[in-house]
Amino acid sequence: MKQPIWFKQLELGPMQNYVYLLGDPTTREAAVVDAAWDIDTIVRTAEAEGYRITKDLVTHFHPDHLGGDLMGHAIRGAAELIARVPAKVYIHKAELPFVHRLTGLSDSDLVAVEGGDEVKVGGFTVKLLHTPGHTPGSQCFLVGNALVSGDTLFIGSCGRVDLPGSNPEDMYRSLTQVLAALPDETLLYPGHNYADRPRSTIGEEKRTNMMMRFPHLKDFLAVMSPLRG
């Protein structure tokens, strides 16, 4: 029998970010993915359904997903979340130098993770997939038959690779070797609302998303242009 999971997709902030809540209906423990912009709404949504947030799983360090300074604008995020609830911030170890520079988070607030790690939320497990390319420590979260992909894979596109820390070769490998290896029926939940629907599947993206269809790295590099993310 599969473990039931409480799953909420919230669109928050002016950059069309998706924030996710994942909870165990038995223990009422929950994790939030990429807490940012409207911490009050995130916490209230969980509390209204009887859940307590104990973890903030972060796909990558950009302030619209983590909080912190974005070109002189302060975005509420992980720091404000952990001031409200007793949560730790889980982020890939390659992101740590950026986290310290952008936020007020201390080492004691953070749990450094890497690809292949698993995080327990109540009675279910979230598997961490390291998918560098958009940033060095970008990661996706696999829970049950659903993948929360951050800015690695969008519906019909992928994250930018023209930003500090981006690497198009890494992105190609993340898309074509890591994510394309998942079962076709895996549900895809991206980090932004950039499409005409809130979710897709890995199989659909392999069939229709040009960024997953290049047979060779050189072809991917030849057409890659700045992409929003």
Residue 151 amino acid letter: D
19-54 as b/e: b if 16+ CB within 10 A: bbbbbbbeeebbbbbbbbbbbeebbebbeeeebebb
6-223 carries CATH number 3.60.15.10: yes
Q: How far is the C-alpha of 183 from the C-alpha of 186, rounded, in Å?
A: 6
* pLDDT less than 50: residues of the chain: 1, 228
Q: How far is the C-alpha of 219 from the C-alpha of 201, rounded, in Å?
A: 24
Q: What is the pLDDT of residue 1?
A: 42
Report pLDDT digits (tens) over 14-36. Answer: 999 999 999 999 999 999 999 99
> Cα–Cα distances in Å, from 143 out to 29, 35, 50, 51, 197?
15, 17, 21, 18, 20
Q: What is the pLDDT of residue 70?
A: 82
Q: How far is the C-alpha of 152 from the C-alpha of 175, rounded, in Å?
A: 8
Helix (H) or strand (E) holding 121: strand 118-121
Tell me the pairing of strands 68-70 and 110-113.
unpaired
The helix/strand/coil state of 140 is: strand
Tell me the pairing of strands 17-23 and 29-33.
antiparallel
